[in-house]
Structure 1
Amino acid sequence: MNTPSHSILNLAILDRGQLKGCTWPIIVGSWLPDAAIFVFYGWAKVMGLPEQVIWNEAYYTPVWQGIFAIGNSIPLALVGIGWFLWAKSPGGVALSASALLHHLEDLPLHHEDAHQHFWPLSDYRFISPVSYWDADHHGNYGALAELALVLVASVVLWRRVRSRWGRSLLLLVNTVYVGGYWQFYG
């Protein structure tokens, strides 16, 4: 999934009940698993690597895959939830729960770029038959499912968000997603 999708879905799911008001920890937790990928991309651009090399070679090197495994670890997210429950930290629970949701949302939509979600217990990668981007692996359907989920979650959030800034951000993200889908798959 695209990183902003995780934020919208996770806010719709988590920012209520005992985690109500933990908006920023939820947003940070939704981006945290992809943080190493952003660092990787920045490094690759500084190194002058072309896009083809970045995503078809460098991304799959053992060093970078090992780094990505840490941020995409379901066991580590569960440990985080447990730790913050013990410490009675709703913000920490929200952050770790959001990271866990990110991992669970990624599982059905990553094919060749699947993460090692069970690290350090296993190097196993769940290779989904559906990709969120790769047309060779039903990317048009994966992207459509992601778009539909984001639109539904945005309706839920629209009812909760009262600020113009928050609503404007929701409109912007949804406009970009709808336009992007039609540009790539329409």
Structure 2
Amino acid sequence: MNTPSHLILNLAVLRRPVAPAMTWPILIGGLIPDAALFVFYGWARGQGLPAQTIWNEAYYSQPWQAIFAVGNSIPLGLVGVALGYALRRAWLGFLGASMVLHHLADLPLHHDDAHQHFWPLSLVRFISPVSYWDVDHFGRWGATIELLLVLAATAYLLPRLSSRVSQGLLGITAALIAVAYGVLVLIPLG
């Protein structure tokens, strides 16, 4: 699943009108699992690697896979939830819960690029038959489901956001996700 989609879905599931202060921990928790991927991509481009080498070779190399495992660890996200509860720090609990929600959304939508979601307890990867992007593994279906969930979450969130700026950012993000879907999924079909 794409990072902006995670952010929108996590807000729809975790943010409550009575706790808008938890918006930032939810957004940051939804971003943490993909943060190393952005660093990796910047590093790879800085090395002058072509896109095919980046995604077919460098992505699967060590130490990158070990780094990705840390950010994509369900046990570490659950530690954040437990610490938030134990220390009575709601922001930490929401951050950890958002990380876990991100991981749970990724589990059914990653095939060849599956993460080690149970690190450090296990290095096993759940290889889903469905990908959110790879057409050889039902990527069009995965992308369509992702888009429909994002649109539903956006429709749910828009009237619940009190700030016009927040509403505008959410609307623009959802629109960009829909445009990307059209470019990457619909146009190749035509």
Query: Structures share a fold, TM > 0.5?
Result: yes
Determine if the alignment matches structure 1 residue 154 to structure 2 residue 154: yes
Name the CA distance, whole Å, in 2 between partners of 1:20 and 1:162: 9
Deviation at 1:144, TM superposition (A): 0.4
CA distance in 2, matches of 1:177, 1:144: 11
Alignment of 1:46-65 (within 5 A): 46-65=46-65
SS in 2 for 1:33: helix
- Structure 2: how far apart are the matches of 1:148 and 1:115? 24
Opposite residue 141 of structure 1, the aligned amino acid is W
Residues 30-69 of structure 1: pairs in structure 2 closer than 5 A: 30-69=30-69
Note if 1:16 corresponds to 2:5: no
CA RMSD in angstroms comes to 1.2
Structure 2: unaligned runs, 5 residues or longer: none
- Partner-residue secondary structure (3-state), 1:22: helix
Aligned residues of 1:14 and 1:20 also touching (Cα < 8 A): no
Q: How many residue pairs are counted as aligned between the two chains?
A: 186
- Conserved 8 A contact 2:77-2:96: yes
Q: Distance in 1 between matches of 2:90 and 2:123?
A: 31
- 1:106-151 Cα distance to aligned partner (Å, 9 max, x none): 0010010000000011111011111111111111100000000000
Q: How high is the TM-score relative to the length of structure 1?
A: 0.96
Aligned to 1:103: 103
Q: Which residue identity does 2:91 align to in structure 1?
A: G
Letter in 1 for 2:181: Y
- For residue 62 of structure 1, report the CA deviation from its aligned partner: 2.5
Distance in 1, matches of 2:156 and 2:17, equals 15
Equivalent pair of 1:18/1:90 in contact (CA under 8 Å) = no
Distance in 1 (alpha carbons) for counterparts of 2:184 and 2:31: 24
Sequence identity (%): 56
Q: How does 1:105-144 map to 2 (within 5 A)?
A: 105-144=105-144
Offset, 1:19: 4.9
Q: Deviations over 1:32-51 (max 9, x none)?
A: 01111111111111111111
Unmatched runs of 5 consecutive residues or more in structure 1: none
Q: Aligned equivalents of 1:20 and 1:184: distance in 2? A: 34
State the 4+ residue runs in structure 1 displaced beyond 3 angstroms.
17-20
How far apart are the structure 1 equivalents of 2:18 and 2:119? 29
Moved more, 176-185 or 102-111: 176-185
